[in-house]
Amino acid sequence: MTNKLKITYLLGIFIMIFSSNMMNAQLKPGDLVDGIAAVIGDEIVLESDVSEQMNYGKQQGATNTDKCEFLENLISNKLLVYEAKKDTLIENRSASIKEQANAKYRQLLSQFPDEKTLLAAYKFRNSYEMKNAIEKIDTDQYYGQAKYQRVTEKADVTPNEVTDFYNMYKMQLPQVKDEVTLAQIMIYPTLTEAHKQDLINRLKKIKKDILGGETFESQARIYSEDEGSATNGGLYKNINKGQMVKPFEAAALNLQENEISEPIESEFGYHIIQLLKRSGKVYDARHILLKATPTDEELKSAKVKLDSIRGLIIDGKITFKDAAFKFSDDKKTKFNAGIIPGADGSDKIERESIPGTISYELAGLNKGDITTAFDDEENRRKAVKIIKMEDVIPAHQITLETDFSRIKQMALNKKKNEMVEKFVNSKLPTTFISIDGRYDNCNFKSNWKKESIKK
C-alpha cells in the first residue's frame, strides 16, 4: 500500500529471523538454549544469531562452516549499527521500522487461518515476541546499510585499478553462466467503466453500512483486499506525510478526524478511507481496498493492444525503446528502453534465474525476437507484457574485453569492503567489545580480542 512498505517476503529472510525458535524444539538435554556471544557498545550478538547465520549460509550453498568467521561478520555489522545510531546524519526511522514490522506480521498472518496457527508455525509464544524479532532484523539492516553507504560514499575505481584487480584475481573469478539481456513493455489492463462503477458502488454500500452502525474495522476485516492491513481492521498507524501513494494521502489529509472519504482511485484499486488521528505530519488511518483486478475480457483487450504495438515495432514504425517510453506502465524500466535489470544491477540476467512464466515465453527465441503478449504479475497486480530478447550471452570465462563493467563492480566492492574494514578497525580502541570465552581460540582477521574485555 505504501511507497516505503511495499514488502517482498523472501523465504530466506524468514529463516534468518525464525530459525532460532525452530532450533529450540530440537535441543538435547544439556544443550545451550541461547546466550550472549559478544557485546559491541550497547549492541548484542546472541549465540542463536551465529547459528542462524551459519544455517542460512548452508541453505544458500556456502561451504564455510567456521563459526568464528560468522561471529566476526556479525560483530563487524553490529559495530556499524552501533556507530550508525550515533550518526546524526542518519535518519532515525524507529517509528516507520516498527510499523513496517507490524505490516510484515499482518501480511504473514493473512497467509494463515488464525494467529495461533501462525505463532505455532514459527515457534513464537505471542505476537509481541514475533513482531520484535522482525523489527530487530529490520533495524539492524537499515542502520547497517546506512552506515555502510556513509563510509563508502566516495569509493571509486579507475580503469587501471580495474585492470590490476583483474590481473591479480582472474584465476579466482567465476565462470559466467548463460545470460540474456531482456527489455519489456508492460501494461496494466484498463477496467471498463462498468467494472469501475461496480467497485465504486460496492464501496458506497460499505460506507453506508458503516454510517448505519457497522464499525469501519469490522467491514475492513470482511471486505478489504489489502493483505497488509485487512486483518488489522484496515489500520495503518504513524503514517508519515509522503509515505502513502499520492491519491490515498490527498484524500486522507482532507478529512476531519473520524470522517470517511468517498471512494477514491489509486494504482492499487479503489478505497474508502477513515482518518483517525493527525498530529503534524504524522497520522493514523483505516481504509478498505477493492483491488482493480481485471476480468478475462479486460486482459484480452490489453493483449490485443500490446500485440498491435509489437506489430508496429516489427514493421519498423516505432523502436522498442520509444514504445517502452510511450506505452509501458512499468516505471522501473520505461525510461531505460525497457531494459530489465539483473540481480547485480547490470543489464544481464542469468537464464536459470528467469521466472518460469517468462522463461516459457522466451523458449526458442533468438536475439532480437519479441514475444507475443502474455499474462504476468507485477507488484501483485495482473499485467500483460511483451519481452524482447536484446542479447544472448553464452557461458564464458570472465575477461576484461567482455565483462569490464562486471569486473569494475567487483573491484569497487573490494575497495568498499576495505574502507569499511579500515573504519571498523579505527573504532576498536574506543568501543566497548566483550567476546564470550567460548571463542577464545578464534583467529579473527581484525584485532577484536586485543581490544575486547573477555568474560
**DSSP structure string for 139-150:** HHHHHHHHHHHH
- Looking at residue 137, its amino acid is I
Full domain range(s) for residue 313:
175-191+296-397
State the Cα–Cα distance between residues 200 and 271, nearest whole angstrom. Answer: 8
339 backbone dihedrals φ, ψ, rounded to 5°: -65, 130
Q: Mark which of 227, 259, 288 sits at the end of a domain.
A: 288
Say what the pLDDT of residue 2 is.
Answer: 41
Answer whether residue 55 shows pLDDT above 80: no
Which among 379, 166, 359, 183 is positioned nearest to 267, based on CA atoms? 379
Predicted pLDDT at 311: 97
pLDDT in the model for residue 3: 39
The whole-number average pLDDT for the span 214-224 is 96
The two counts, helices (H) then strands (E), for the chain are 15, 13
State how far the Cα of 175 lies from the Cα of 230, in Å rounded to an integer: 47
- Contact present, 133 and 124 (Cβ < 8 Å): yes
Cα dist from 37 to 26, 45, 327, whole Å: 20, 6, 55
Cβ neighbours for 225, distance < 8 A, ≥ 6 positions apart? 269, 289, 290, 291
- Last residue of one domain, picked from the residues 346, 366, 397: 397
C-alpha distances out from residue 390 to 183, 306, 313, 338, 355, Å? 7, 18, 14, 10, 17
SS3 for 437? helix
205 half-sphere exposure, CB direction, 13 A CA radius: 8
244 plus 277 within the same structural domain = yes
Helix or strand (DSSP H, E) at 183? strand 179-187
Per-residue model confidence (pLDDT) at position 402:
85
Higher pLDDT, 220 or 345: 220
Q: Which ranges of 87-170 would DSSP assign to H, the alpha helix? A: 94-109, 115-121, 127-152, 159-169
More confident residue, 13 or 316: 316
pLDDT at 59: 64
Residue 452 lies in a domain: no
Shared domain for 424 and 277, answered yes or no, is no
| The last residue of a domain, from among 241, 259, 288 | 288
Residues 302-339 as b/e (b if ≥16 CB within 10 A, e otherwise) read bbebbeebbeebeeeeeebbebbbebbebeebbeebbb
Does 300 lie in the same domain as 284? no
Q: Is residue 162 part of a domain?
A: no
- Computed over every residue of the chain, the mean pLDDT equals 87
Measured torsion, CA atoms of residues 48, 50, 55, 57, in degrees rounded to the nearest 10: 150
Whether 403 is covered by a domain: the verdict is: no
Alpha carbons 103 and 105: distance in angstroms, whole number: 5
Does one domain contain both 67 and 151? yes
Residue 208, pLDDT above cutoff 70: yes
Residue 79: inside a domain? yes
pLDDT score recorded for residue 354:
93
* pLDDT band, residue 8 (cuts 50/70/90): very low
Residues 235 and 324 in one domain: no
β-pair partners for 175: 397
**pLDDT above 80: residue 155:** yes
216 in any annotated domain: yes
**C-alpha cell read off for 430:** 574506543
Q: Residue 29: what pLDDT? A: 46
Tell me the one-letter amino acid at 6: K
Q: Is 16 part of a structural domain of the chain?
A: no
Whether residues 253 and 312 fall in one domain: no
Of residues 57 and 48, more confidence is placed in 48
- Indicate if 41 and 147 belong to the same structural domain: yes
pLDDT-derived band at 31, boundaries 50, 70, 90: very low
| Virtual torsion, Cα 350, 3, 97, 62, nearest 10 deg | 0
Q: Which residues pair with 283 in a beta bridge?
A: 239, 278
181 domain-assigned = yes
Same domain, 231 and 309: no
170 pLDDT higher than 60: yes
Q: In the predicted model, is pLDDT for residue 64 greater than 90?
A: no
The mean pLDDT value for 71-75 works out to: 91
Distance between CA atoms of residues 180 and 423, nearest Å? 38
192, pLDDT greater than 90: yes
pLDDT at 453 over 70: no
pLDDT of residue 183: 97
pLDDT band at 448 (very low <50, low <70, confident <90, very high): confident
Beta-carbon contacts of residue 260 (< 8 Å; ≥ 6 apart): 207, 210, 211, 216, 272, 273, 274
Percent pLDDT > 70 in the chain is 89
Task: Identify whether residues 257 and 371 lie together within a single domain.
Answer: no
- Specify the pLDDT at position 6: 33
Q: How far is CA 60 from CA 16, 291, 342, 354, 390, in A?
A: 12, 36, 19, 18, 30
Whether 434 contacts 455, CB under 8 Å? yes
Q: Are residues 340 and 258 part of one domain?
A: no
What confidence score (pLDDT) does residue 455 get? 43
Overall average pLDDT of the 162-187 stretch: 94
Predicted confidence (pLDDT) at residue 144 exceeds the cutoff of 90: yes
pLDDT digits (tens, 9 = 90+) for 379-399: 778 999 999 999 999 999 999
Average confidence (pLDDT) over 26-53: 75
The reply to whether 363 and 384 lie within a common domain is: yes
Residues 182, 303: one domain? yes
Residue 84 has pLDDT above 50, yes or no: yes
Q: What pLDDT, on the 0 to 100 scale, is given for residue 413? A: 94
- DSSP code for 260: B
- Does residue 412 fall inside a structural domain? no
pLDDT tens digits along 259-271: 999 999 998 899 9
Q: Is the per-residue pLDDT at 209 higher than 90?
A: yes
Question: How much is the pLDDT for 34?
Answer: 62
Q: How many domains is the chain built from?
A: 3
Q: Considering only 12-26, 275-289, 421-435, which range has the smallest mean pLDDT?
A: 12-26
